[in-house]
A = this chain, B = another copy of it.
Amino acid sequence: MTMTRVKGAEALPLNRILDGDCIEVMNSLPAESIDLIFADPPYNLQLRGTLHRPDNSLVDAVDDDWDQFSSFAAYDAFTRDWLSAARRLLKPQGAIWVIGSYHNIFRVGAALQNQGFWILNDVVWRKSNPMPNFRGKRLTNAHETMIWASKSEGGKYTFNYEALKALNEGVQMRSDWVLPICSGHERLKDEKGDKAHPTQKPESLLHRVLVGTTNPGDVVLDPFFGTGTTGAVAKMLGREYIGIEREESYRRVAEKRLAKVRKFDREALEVSASKRAEPRVPFGQLIERGMLRPGEELYSANRRFKARLRADGTLVGADVKGSIHQVGAHYEGAPSCNGWTYWCFRRDGQLVSIDVLRQQIRAEMQG
């Protein structure tokens, strides 16, 4: 448990579960102090009556007090208020995730847009083992929807593209995620052996969210903490968490759960980094270091074009002068060109990409 000071005198209560109404508690925290918010608000399910399975057993529906709203207008007002408090807490480069079902997600999404959040993706959690539709009156409700939004249009945000790509066996992560619902030993029970929370989310879902859109050390807030899935996964992944939960029974289960969670090793938390995170190497260094000689000719990888190197690192082609990027773009008639991967030099009769030389320099810089 840590207290951190942010922007003045106010303290940020890290790795704790705060007791109280989420709006009031959020308003007591310092502005622009949170990197990511994950929110699983009440879905406003509007269930009518009870539901039985074909064998006449009773379906244990979500009918808790906290999911009751008198009207769409009441739900909208509630949504506006907590989103507004959440937005105040986010750093300018922060982001938010909200999960919901068709009962509430359209209202939540519209409210997000109305408040100036900028939707980055909607993500479908496709449940591999949903509850069937027992009456056969509709389609099996087999998914939930998450919205990922930055604080504002044009706002920066964290996206670990390569890490998610690695999680997905080398192809881009898509907006539909196939994951099982929370069951088995992961599903927390209360003292009587009943499920401790009606809508406990699987840790796999939070794992993907936090690996993809936070970095180690980031502060993650969950204003509807429940039994603490967000906190548990944040702790495993070396992120700081703040939970808000007003139900004492949920807090008790979550505290017990979090005490048992261990953080993964530091090395295991490192993920595949994007190339942009690597140090920039000016092309001129290859000449300064004697890896390439002024006067030497470079060739396009497709062997169709060549250009001559000058001492200042610019290229001279048949009818064009400029940087490796500019000359490549000119030859290809393209709006832009990555000169590092476009140009090759000749060694022992072979064409070798100049990017190999950049990688050598980067390796030296690390060692």
Q: Convert A325-367 into 0s and 1s, putting 1 for each residue whose CB lies closer than 8 angstroms to a CB of B.
A: 0000000101111000000000000000000000000001101
Known: A172-B132, A282-B167, A312-B272. A138 touches B121 (CB 8 A): yes
Residue of B nearest to A118 (CB): B46
**A28 part of interface (Cβ distance < 8 Å):** no
Closest Cβ of chain B to A110, distance in Å, is: 5
**A105 part of interface (Cβ distance < 8 Å):** yes
Residue of B nearest to A337 (CB): B56
- Contact of A274 (CB < 8 Å), options: B121, B136, B138: B136
Closest Cβ of chain B to A25, distance in Å, is: 27
**A69 part of interface (Cβ distance < 8 Å):** no
- Contact of A106 (CB < 8 Å), options: B101, B113, B162: B113
Copies of this chain, tallied across the complex = 2
B138 and A314 contacting across the interface, CB-CB below 8 Å: no
Stretch in contact with the other chain, from A10-18, A81-89, A286-294: A286-294
Chain B residues with CB under 8 A of A107: 106, 109-110, 113
| A residues 93-148 in Cβ contact with B at 8 Å | 101-103, 105-110, 112-114, 119-124, 126, 128-130, 132-133, 136-143, 145, 147-148
Chain B residues with CB under 8 A of A332: 56
| A residues 177-198 in Cβ contact with B at 8 Å | 178-180, 186
Chain B residues with CB under 8 A of A129: 364, 367
Residue of B nearest to A141 (CB): B175
**A278 part of interface (Cβ distance < 8 Å):** no
B264 and A295 contacting across the interface, CB-CB below 8 Å: yes
B364 and A180 contacting across the interface, CB-CB below 8 Å: yes
Stretch in contact with the other chain, from A31-39, A200-208, A244-252: A200-208
A312 and B271 contacting across the interface, CB-CB below 8 Å: yes
**A24 part of interface (Cβ distance < 8 Å):** no
Interface size class of A (residues with CB under 8 A): 35 or more
Known: A105-B106, A268-B295. A128 touches B364 (CB 8 A): yes
Chain B residues with CB under 8 A of A305: none
**A21 part of interface (Cβ distance < 8 Å):** no
Known: A137-B161, A269-B311, A288-B167. A143 touches B110 (CB 8 A): no
Most buried by B among A148, A202, A211: A211
Closest Cβ of chain B to A299, distance in Å, is: 17
B365 and A128 contacting across the interface, CB-CB below 8 Å: yes
A310 and B178 contacting across the interface, CB-CB below 8 Å: no
A residues within 8 Å of B by Cβ? 52, 56, 72, 101-103, 105-110, 112-114, 119-124, 126, 128-130, 132-133, 136-143, 145, 147-148, 159-164, 166-170, 172-176, 178-180, 186, 202-204, 207-208, 211-212, 236-237, 264-265, 267-272, 274, 279-280, 282-285, 287-290, 293-295, 308-314, 316, 321, 323, 332, 334-337, 364-365, 367
